[in-house]
A and B are shown apart, each in its own frame.
Chain A
Amino acid sequence: MNQLSPEEEKAILASSPRGTWALLLVILAAMAVGWAALFVLFLSHGPVS
């Protein structure tokens, strides 16, 4: 475990979780692209005739 001063610990607990924001944005973007890809690849063929 890393030794942190109480001030450093307090600063970390009050900080914005920027790594989490970045990770979730990547996942959200991947989901949107995946959804669109399935839509275009499959549903764009139109109704079955």
Chain B
Amino acid sequence: MVNSETRGLVLAHFWVAFLAFVAAALLGLYQVAERSGLFPALESNVLYFGSVSTHGVLMGFVLTTFFAMGFGYYCASQSLGRPIWNRGMAWFGFWLSLVGTAMAAVALLSGQASVLYTFYPPLQASPLFYLGATLLVVGSWFWCLEMVMTMRAWKRDNPGKPVPLAMFGNAVNGTLWFVTSLGVALEVLFQLLPWSLGLKETVDVGLARTLFSWTLHAIVYFWLLPAYIALYTLVPKAAGGRLFSDEMARIAFIMLLVFGIPIGFHHLYMDPFQAAGWKFLHMTGTFMVAVPSFLTAFTVTASLELAGRLRGGKGLFGWIAALPWTNPIVLAGILSLLLLSVGGFGGIINASYSMNSLVHNTQWVTGHFHLIFAGTSVIMYFGIAYYVWPRLTGKPLFSERLARVQLWSWAIGMVVLTFPWHALGLQGQPRRISATPYDSPLVATWQLNEILMIVGGIILFISAVLLIVNLAASHGAQGAAEVSGSEFAEPAQPLLRLPGALNGVGFWFVVVAVYMIVSYGYPIAQFFLMETYGAFPWSI
């Protein structure tokens, strides 16, 4: 059972995350209906772009940030068996992030921030949105500090011992998120805020896009790491097995930290202000991230294979059937890996410099990031929630059957929603549009996929409601939860000795700093060195 000090903190974070999620899911349902063009009464480009912006902020920033923070506190407390470093500061970060979220919500819901949940000028939002987003991020920096300091305090009291993997993964994620969010923080502070406040007439769009790209892709790994941590530490144990390799997990986390941060540059492949040579170099860096993804797929699948064989599975694939598919977190893990493999394929296309031109700014991209975000990451958030809820509330989960229905419906809904989007993208349908009222013979050929998109949206919204119902009802469930003692998977082979580099983040923080200077130094510096035709690169 989780100690009472941490319980409230984790539950507060998770409830903010999931309430934001269900609101965003409702908006998503509206968007697929509006975008299809099949419901003329719903059509409104003003409402659509306001909805898309709110949907994206709620999903991409609020759900993820609050969930990652709550899960980090849970893992720190449970894996180390001691309180987090500074509980007061953790609550302060929570409230700061919540106030920021409320400020951004006011701007979004009043139509003053319909910027497609991006920070791409010349789209401009009200200062309230930028201030709110800044507070949300700054609040999360307290969590980053908590993760690193909690780990340091434990290492000081346990010299020479390997930091538990769940804690190590969260410390890596805290470090990654801090460095990652610096790009957009610089952009907002020195460009977008002064511009939206009217202090400057214009901004350098090239510099702004480059700074945003710094944040734009590594944020995906901030979303993914809680899912990966659960896949490595909770799923093998829940499946009845062991972790195939603790060291492999740590290497994957570190590779994501080092190679994951600069790769947002591939979002600039089609932008004219960065040279082709830089784009090519960054393409090679982008492909490096496939390595920790495959390491994760291998290690987690191998751990599941161990579990299946320990449960009596025989033959090359007999272990798959022997896995406990009825256990929600194991089911979530399997579905997450399946969707990761499909979404990962799309990512390889996006990352290829020449292939990117094929799908750039088409609905393919929307399909890809929904598969990775909602398919791989968020489905694991559900699995984690079902797993930790009894430990947080002291009550059993309201319905495991409902949880299974919810997980399956989410995975099926995601396939029904995103496969047509991939097809539409290859047929040339642009993304970031509210309607397609041109070239009607072409649009007519898209109709089947448009209808499937709506079906997918309906399934997903129902699934989202099922999650909230199950979690809320669990608070009032009868009886006491039956939870085991140790919940994190032990490695298959005992971890006798661990190199220092795999047991801390300090060294890797320096490596990331050097790598960022090498990969982003000149691409940013050039804006201060070349003529920008009246646009101020910086407001000071």
Contact = CB atoms under 8 A, between A and B. Distances in A.
A4 B320 contact: no
Contacts of A27: 297, 341
Contacts of B358: 38, 42-43
B348 interface: yes
Main SS of chain B's interface residues? helix
B345 A9 contact: no
Contacts of A20: 298, 301-302, 305
Interface size class of A (residues with CB under 8 A): 20 to 34
B209 to A, nearest CB: 24
A17 B302 contact: yes
Interface residues of B, number: 31
Interface string A1-40: 1101000010011110111101110011011001100110
Contacts of B349: 35, 38
Q: Is the interface of A mostly helix, strand, loop or mixed?
A: helix
A15 B309 contact: yes
B311 A1 contact: yes
A13 B240 contact: no
Contacts of A17: 244, 301-302, 305-306
B310 interface: yes
Given A12-B310, A43-B354, A19 B316 contact: yes
B320 A19 contact: yes
B492 interface: yes
A13 B242 contact: yes
Nearest to B314: A2
A17 B298 CA distance: 9
A29 B426 CA distance: 22
A19 B358 CA distance: 35
Contacts of B345: 30-31, 34-35
A19 B312 CA distance: 14
Given A20-B305, A24-B297, A24-B301, A13 B492 contact: yes
Nearest to B491: A13
Contacts of B309: 12, 15
B355 interface: yes
B310 A4 contact: yes
Which of A12, A14, A15, A35 gathers most chain B CB within 10 Å? A12
Nearest to B290: A31
A36 to B, nearest CB: 11
A19 B348 contact: no
A22 to B, nearest CB: 6
Contacts of B311: 1-2
B522 interface: no
Contacts of B344: 31
A31 B309 CA distance: 28
A2 B341 contact: no
A18 B242 contact: no
Nearest to B357: A43
B92 interface: no
Contacts of A12: 306, 309-310
Which 6 pairs across A and B sit closest by C-beta, in order of nearness? A2-B312, A17-B302, A20-B302, A20-B301, A13-B492, A17-B305
18 contacts: A2-B310, A4-B312, A12-B310, A13-B242, A17-B305, A17-B306, A18-B316, A19-B316, A19-B319, A22-B316, A22-B317, A24-B294, A27-B297, A31-B341, A31-B344, A31-B345, A35-B349, A35-B352
